[in-house]
Amino acid sequence: MPFCIITGDITKVTADAIVNAANSSLLGGGGVDGAIHRAAGSELLEECRTLGGCATGQAKLTKGYRLPCKYVIHTVGPIYSGGGYGEKEQLYSCYINSLELAKQNGCESIAFPLISAGAYGYPKDKALAVAIEAFESFLNDNDMSITLVIFSKSAFFFEPKLEKEIGKYIQKNTPKPQKSFPKFPMFGAAEKTAGKARQSSSFRDICDEECCEPMLGASAPCGAAPAAGLNEFLMSRDESFSQQLLRLIDEKGLTDVQTYRKANIDRKLFSKIRSDVNYKPKKQTALAFAIALELDLDQTEDLLAKAGYRLSDSLKFDLIVKYFIINKQYDIFVINQALFAFDQSLIGC
């Protein structure tokens, strides 16, 4: 889970480090800053008094105390003054300096609030764009689980035009409800017996001629073929999910590292998939690899089928992912923002 967005209270998130959107004194304040100090206890303030404050864009580290984390990383975001005074560069520095400080202290996971998007007045859409840019840049060269914690959906911004287009696509492609038909009287016992006989006869005709003998190469009746024979048949004619994934990576000329980072997949999880030929991933994981490999819709369906899944127009999650694949938009960070905006599970997480 290299990058994920959630709603909730950052003081309750379990991570190696959480980031405090602090003021320059580091002595506590309102919003996230005040909430973190209250949850951590008075010891946090005592340690902060020894740090001598913090400049805008910089970051300093303390212990987590009563919080469910080892460390609190305090960073001071810029006050937004129209965008012409270096605010973007300062905000970007907040994220990068916090991530580097976490890395230096051996952190494998970190949680951020949306810095400067509250009382400091940074527009939410611009603040989110800077955060995503910093996370992408860092994750290109580093392995760390990054969680962006949004206090409520009202604090999250997703590009309205794209959201509207996706909404229209969902509405257009969602199957219409089937009309209900009147129930017919139940068949009597004689009709049931005759129906079963016809069904059995029809199935036997199809099974004997098209299914069992040609496929298994044996005259055993349907259902009586040894499991080993079926497994041998399947293994000789098909790739597993893992095998197809690794073949596609080679065909695309990508390295393993490039692939799992583009897929927003943890390195340890990718290692499991690579080492276990029969590994069955979650649907979100399989789709993340399809996005990383920039597969078209048919190729995506084929890869999903190897893991036992398919895309359905009855599921909003599937329709959103299909929208991006059809439009050849393969930025997993943007796709996950869209999924979050529509209250769906994220891919790769």
- At a CB cut-off of 8 Å and minimum separation 6, what does 3 contact? 135, 139, 145, 146, 147, 148, 264, 333, 336, 348, 349
For residue 207, pLDDT over 50 is answered with: no
Higher pLDDT, 210 or 42: 42
Per-residue pLDDT tens digits for 329-340: 999 999 999 999
Q: What is the pLDDT of residues 37-63, one digit of tens each?
A: 999 999 999 999 999 999 999 999 999
pLDDT at 151: 86
Confidence of residue 154 (pLDDT cuts 50, 70, 90): confident
Q: Which pLDDT score is estimated for 214?
A: 34
> Which tokens hold the place of 59?
């970051």
16 carries an active-site annotation: no
Architecture of the structural domain at 3-157 = 3-Layer(aba) Sandwich (3.40)
pLDDT at 238: 81
Could you tell me which residues are beta bridge partners of residue 150? Answer: 7
Distances from the Cα of 296 to the Cα of 140, 300, 307, 325, angstroms: 24, 6, 17, 6
pLDDT of residue 73: 98
162-171, 197-206, 294-303, 337-346: the lowest-pLDDT one? 197-206
Name the E strands within the chain: 3-7, 17-22, 59-63, 71-76, 109-112, 145-150
Task: Label residue 246 by pLDDT band (50, 70, 90).
Answer: very high
Report the pLDDT value the prediction gives residue 155, as an integer from 0 to 100.
78
Has residue 226 got a pLDDT over 50?
no
What is the pLDDT at residue 92?
98
Give 220's pLDDT tier (boundaries 50, 70, 90): very low
Domain ranges across the chain: 3-157, 241-341
Strands 3-7 and 71-76: unpaired
Q: Which of 33, 266, 313, 343 is catalytic?
A: 33
What integer pLDDT is reported at residue 153 of this predicted model? Answer: 82
